[in-house]
Amino acid sequence: MKKLGLLFGLMLVASLSFGQTKKAKIVTTAQCGMCKQTIEKAVNSLDGIETAELDVTSKKLRVKYDMSKITLDAIRQKVASVGYQADDVKANQKAYDNLPPCCQLGGHDHK
């Protein structure tokens, strides 16, 4: 009986240390479909990301990631590095300045 309990305990510990998948939503400053492509490509290139999908209408990036490989802050930093704000993480100014006009804030307000 002790062996069975020990085996169960080891299996529980092993299962907790692998596959620590978490879901999160990050609010961005995305404006259009080009923003969607840029952000999704950047985030999906990170090790530990299972899925990253941006809803342009709500400007929310939904991510599913492995907590043992990447942090939510690192994901936000990646979004910021390509020119977009990610929650309270400010966009990299140089990357933002290099975005097409339609991807900059208010880029779709001019008609």
**Along the 111 residues of the chain, how does pLDDT read in single tens digits?**
556 554 455 455 554 555 699 999 999 999 999 999 999 999 999 999 999 999 999 999 999 999 999 999 999 999 999 999 999 999 999 999 999 999 998 776 544
Res 106: pLDDT: 78
- Spatial distance between the Cα atoms of 37 and 45, rounded to a whole number of angstroms: 12
Domains of the chain as residue ranges with CATH: 20-101 (3.30.70.100)
Res 76: pLDDT: 98
DSSP state of 37: H
Please spell the DSSP secondary structure of 50-111, one letter per residue. Answer: EEEEEETTTTEEEEEEETTT--HHHHHHHHHHTT--BTTBPPPHHHHHTS-GGGSTTTTT--
- Spatial distance between the Cα atoms of 79 and 28, rounded to a whole number of angstroms: 8
DSSP state of 30: -
pTM score, two decimals?
0.80
57: left (phi over 0), alpha (psi -120 to 50) or beta: alpha
- Spatial distance between the Cα atoms of 41 and 46, rounded to a whole number of angstroms: 9
Res 111: pLDDT: 46
